[in-house]
Chain A
Amino acid sequence: MTGCEKFSFRLYVAGDAWNSAQAVSNLGAVCREHLAGRHTIEVVDVFREPQRALADGIFMTPTLIKLAPLPAPVQVVGSLSQRLPLMQALGLQGVPE
């Protein structure tokens, strides 16, 4: 973990649903804490762009997709309120708080 990789996220949300709003703010908090200055977040509203959700196979909202860094894209479903599984999935474990 060199700390200089660029992180790219796409977050599918369902309008202003509670879970989705939570996910937006939780993701923001994680990025501020661990990835300050080296991340981009694209928020896609499934109600406005359902075809994109269909194309990405998004059935549960909110869903976070980590597009970069490679290797594989990672999907995390939920409001991102549980920090541990989220950090593990994003490969941010061991990064000092």
Chain B
Amino acid sequence: MNASHPSNTDNAVPGAPEKAPTGIAGFDHITGGGLPRGRTTLLLGGPGSGKTVFALEFLVHGARSFEEPGIFVAFEERSTRILANAHSFGWNLPELQRERLSFVDAQPVSDLVQSGSFDLNGMLAALQAMIESTGARRIVFDALDIVLALLADPAARRAETYRLHGWLLAHELTAVITAKAFGDDVFLMGQESFGFMQFMVDCAVILNHKVVLGVSQRNLRVQKYRGTNFDENELPFLIGKDGFEVSVAHPLERGSLTVSKERVSSGLERLDTMLGGGYYRGVSALITGSPGTAKTTLVGLFAQAACQRGERTLFVSFSSDPNEVIRDLASVGIRLARYVKNGHLRMVSARAISGSAELYLAHIMSLAKEHKARCLVIDPVSTWSSQSGTHLSAHRISERLINWSKVEGITLLCSCLVDERTVPSEDSTFRQISTLADTWIHLSYLVQSGERNRALSIIKSRGTAHSNQVRELILSNKGVTLADTYSAGGEVLMGTLRWQKEGAERAAAETAEVARKVKRVRLDAEEAELEVRLRALGVELKAKKTEKALLMRATATRRGETSRKRTRMEVLRGADVAEDKDGDRQ
């Protein structure tokens, strides 16, 4: 115990502790870079919770990416078995083993005879020799509880653990100690032997594996991490084909998302118009509806349109087999088979995937990556969440699905089954997806006069001016169309009623047209008649005017003559100037 915590003094400079990346997807993200370098991390978990895989991946990553030699001390399983088990991860361990990875088998002999107390100095001395020869920087003690259990009393366990910890610090090794813990409450185990370890170490990570409603769920939680901010939530993880994978809900840094203004067609022209041009590229759109409201048809249209543009598309069906989907969609004029053939479209039946919702998500993500998909269709997403166990996990998964597709720039279209009778807010998946989705289209039935007709409305569409009108969705073997609906007396008319109304309106329009024509003819006639009369009157007027002019001239002549005569007579009579009485005489 001659450790004077050299790492502490070295790292006394302000700033975050140095990190040793684990290479575990997601884990380095939530811890801001990995495990504390030169410190000890305690990894607790029940049987089969993935402790060994986590620890081994940490060593492999160090050896491979940072050329940090590592030592794996195996207390429980023989190293040959660990290597065999890890073979499937494609880490190429035998090659690493030759160069930078050493395994130490420290399983207690099965017929071990114990007499009196002992300590771990032997192991530390042996390891010290190994470190000197290999230059190891990382070390894993897998299942330390095995050897601690041999110690007689808690005091001895504590003393040996502190001895180990001091030794690790003195050598500035980045260490992972794994130990078993049962149940959710790790402190139960703490009473047993190493509760104090959780206080001693700089970082503690808890893995658990539980079965909720028959669905397996693996979760990881960082319990403590000195000097570092970390995600304190329990996060789902899975052990996939590349090893350990922690699912991070927010893999994106704020503002790192590139937002596109490009529109992608929904595959239905009038719907595009309703949406102001289509969906934005990279958005997540949701189509909800009760059974049979043509949700699959709408997502099929979208997939077809994407393939027509030459975009690689992944179609995940939770309800039917790919061939069934292709056949069913062909009946409404959506032909997907050729795109499957030319490789643009990949159809996957999610029924082929079994396991937790986490696995579904991981599977879909890896398929999308593999296919280099730009558009992703999930039909319906509600099946998936109902299989995922709890509402909470479904909630998280939908959140991650949407975040992931945004980061990848994938346009996501999900359909979601909604029972009209249930209040939507009771279904947390639905609520979650509908909150996160950028565009939400709802399909419903309108039952009226013994008919069921499909109605489409846009509930929301972020960043887009969109129609607030309900349209009727009509499916036929020629294709899919949207029709205007009629509202009469506050009621929306669809189907036959709409057709009747349309017919009635057509008839009324015809009648009105005829009446208009008749009236016009009559008016034309009247106009002509008036014009004739007008011309006749004009002629008459002219005649009168002429007559009047002639009369005036005649009068003037006569008056002139009379006046001349009178003047002549007056002159002749020699009379005074008399009153002019011409006017009276006229």
Contacts and interface: CB of A to CB of B under 8 A. Distances in A.
5 shortest A-B CB distances, which residue pairs? A14-B121, A79-B116, A50-B129, A81-B116, A46-B125
Given A54-B130, A85-B113, A78 B125 contact: no
Interface string B95-132: 00000000011101100111111111111011011100
B147 interface: yes
B521 interface: no
B119 A77 contact: no
Contacts of B129: 50-51, 53-54
B122 A60 contact: yes
B447 interface: no
Contacts of A81: 115-117
Contacts of A14: 119, 121-122, 125
A12 interface: yes
B309 to A, nearest CB: 64
A79 B126 contact: no
A43 to B, nearest CB: 13
A61 B118 contact: yes
B105 A60 contact: no
B120 A59 contact: yes
B155 to A, nearest CB: 13
Contacts of B105: 57
Contacts, number: 103
B121 A46 contact: yes
Interface of B: 104-106, 108-109, 112-123, 125-126, 128-130, 147, 150
Interface string A19-44: 11011001000000000000000000
Q: Which of B109, B116, B123, B128 counts the most chain A CB atoms within 10 A? A: B116
Given A50-B128, A54-B129, A59 B115 contact: no
B115 A79 contact: yes
Contacts of B125: 14, 46-47, 50, 53, 61
Contacts of B121: 14-15, 17, 20, 46-47, 61
B118 A78 contact: yes
B113 A59 contact: no
Contacts of A79: 115-118
A59 B123 contact: yes
B3 to A, nearest CB: 15
A50 B109 CA distance: 19
Nearest to B132: A50
B346 to A, nearest CB: 53
Contacts of B122: 12, 14, 46, 53, 58-63
Given A51-B129, A57-B105, A58-B122, A76 B114 contact: yes
B126 A80 contact: no
A75 interface: yes
A22 B116 contact: yes
B106 A19 contact: no
A22 B117 CA distance: 9
B205 to A, nearest CB: 25
A54 B154 CA distance: 27
Contacts of B116: 19, 22-23, 26, 78-82
A79 to B, nearest CB: 3
Given A47-B121, A76-B115, A77-B150, 18 more contacts: A19-B116, A22-B116, A23-B116, A47-B125, A53-B129, A58-B126, A60-B150, A63-B118, A63-B122, A75-B112, A79-B115, A79-B118, A81-B115, A81-B116, A81-B117, A83-B115, A85-B115, A89-B115
Contacts of B123: 58-60
B12 to A, nearest CB: 30
A92 interface: no
A19 B115 CA distance: 11
Contacts of A22: 116
A61 B122 CA distance: 5
B206 to A, nearest CB: 27
B16 to A, nearest CB: 35
Interface string A67-90: 000000011111111110110110
Contacts of A85: 113-115
Nearest to A66: B113
Nearest to B130: A54
